[in-house]
Amino acid sequence: MEVTTVDQAVQLFIQYIDVAQKHGSFSLEEASTLKRVIDFYDKSQEKDPKLNERLCMQLLCNAMVKGNKAGSFSIGDAALLDKTIRFVVESFNKESEPSGAVGSDSSA
């Protein structure tokens, strides 16, 4: 499976949060925060005004790292999650680059 959109990454991370939680990876407080993050992406739920997409994505990525450290994922799953985290970071970095940034080819 290859993740090609941020929405796919979010859905993948949400699936793996449940896997990690079944292995006891998160404290009650962390689980509560992750539930708020999941609700942020659920269109039927009211969004927490303290959250934004960048913060939610950071929390999801951190949850994947914590779940992996707890041994919740197979080696193949960990490799997929690593690749997905790298994709998300790259996607967010591209969004935050100013259009006339040094190194961008805006004259072409």
Q: What is the pLDDT of residues 47-85, one digit of tens each?
A: 889 999 999 999 999 999 999 999 999 999 999 999 999
Please check whether residue 40 is in contact with residue 48, taking contact to mean a CB–CB distance below 8 angstroms.
yes
Collapsed DSSP state (helix, strand, coil) of residue 46: coil
- Could you tell me if residue 102 is inside a domain? no
Task: Look at the chain and report how many structural domains it folds into.
Answer: 1
- Could you tell me if residue 82 is inside a domain? yes
Mean predicted confidence (pLDDT) in 26-49: 95
Please check whether residue 25 is in contact with residue 34, taking contact to mean a CB–CB distance below 8 angstroms.
no
Q: What kind and span of H or E run contains 82? A: helix 75-96
Quick one: pLDDT at residue 104?
45
- Could you tell me if residue 27 is inside a domain? yes
Q: Which range of residues forms the domain containing residue 11?
A: 6-93
Given a cut of 80, is residue 7 above it in pLDDT?
A: yes
Quick one: pLDDT at residue 108?
42
**Percentage of residues of the chain with pLDDT beyond 70:** 91
- Could you tell me if residue 61 is inside a domain? yes
- Could you tell me if residue 108 is inside a domain? no
Other residues' Cβ atoms within 10 Å of the Cβ of residue 70: 13
In eight-state DSSP terms, residue 27 is -
- Could you tell me if residue 100 is inside a domain? no
